[in-house]
Amino acid sequence: MAPRSLAFAAVLVALAATATAAYRPEPPSWMADNEFPYASMWSQATGKRAAGAASKGAHRDEWHPARAELAPVSKTASTTLARSKGEGAYHAVRYLVDPERQEEFVDAWREFEKDTLDNEKGVRVFDLKKTVDDDVGFISYGEWKSFEDWVDHFKSDHAEKFMDRLRDLDIPFNLQPLYQPKDAGELHVKPEGGKHKRHMAHALVRYWAPPSAHDDLVDAWHEAMEETSKEKGVRIYSLRKWASYGTWDSMEDLHDHFESEHVDKLKDRLAKLRVYWRITLLHKVGDQPE
């Protein structure tokens, strides 16, 4: 296996492994195969790590990401990152945090965010938001200039410290590598005067698309993006495989977007393509500007 593939496999194993060395956990209920393609990798990673650690007599506190046994990497995972080589690296991480632990989680994230932005080269976006439609979900999103910068992020001391903190708080999480479809386009608009409003409106839309619909999904989304760029208050509107993210100046602007003719047209197109989707509103956590 190539060194880069080994590094990527080690990163995924390190992120998946949150259990004790002798215990093989079940994947969280939200890590379903139809939503995240890494549910099977969870059991592969933790099972192989548990077997290796048990044979060495290791204890939980002795396990370290750099010593993780390598699990098989799925074709989906390797293809995702391969298509990002030289074009930037992207990921989203979903956390499920019990309400009584959310304050500690946010404090740990803020420290992690500051260390990442202060010390890493190549990081472009590193952001955390709280889902509005439930009381336990948090979603972080990151962009790096290169695959190598992305790997260096997970090798860092501050990433290791944050993962240890997640384990201490017993918080399950799932990493989803992403890539940017080349033909989808991208919209980033700076606000007048360069100042962002304190309370902006954020929306995440996830898509479940059959392989035959992928190209048509990108084309349909791109058409909607061209019309969205003309909307009042839109700041960010971008697509990754397969989720889109948008930021508007206000909830009124976001409402107008979803009531627009071009979004109605997009929804009709998705229905014909048998593409299913779900909207999640987000609330910003942390201090990084949009």
Report the 3 state secondary structure along 173-207: EEEEEECCCCCCCEEECCCHHHCCCCCCEEEEEEE
Q: What is the pLDDT of residues 181-192, one digit of tens each?
A: 555 444 444 545
Show Cβ contacts of residue 72 under 8 Å, excluding neighbours closer than 6 positions: 9, 41, 44
Q: How many beta carbons lie within 10 A of that of residue 198, not counting itself?
A: 6
Average pLDDT of the segment spanning 115-123: 89
User: Residue 96, by phi and psi: left (phi above 0), alpha (psi -120 to 50) or beta?
Assistant: beta
Q: What is the pLDDT of residues 9-48, one digit of tens each?
A: 444 334 433 322 333 334 333 333 333 333 333 333 333 3
- The segment(s) of the chain belonging to CATH 3.30.70.100 are 87-178, 186-285
- Choose between 178 and 166: higher pLDDT: 166
Please report the pLDDT score of residue 259 as a whole number.
Answer: 84
* Residue 193 pLDDT greater than 90, yes or no: no
Class of domain 87-178: alpha beta
Write the CA distances from 2 to 5, 15, 148, integer angstroms: 5, 20, 14
The domain 186-285 having CATH identifier 3.30.70.100: the answer here is yes
Maximum Cα interatomic distance, the chain, rounded to a whole number of Å: 62
Please report the pLDDT score of residue 288 as a whole number.
Answer: 56
Average pLDDT of the segment spanning 250-275: 85
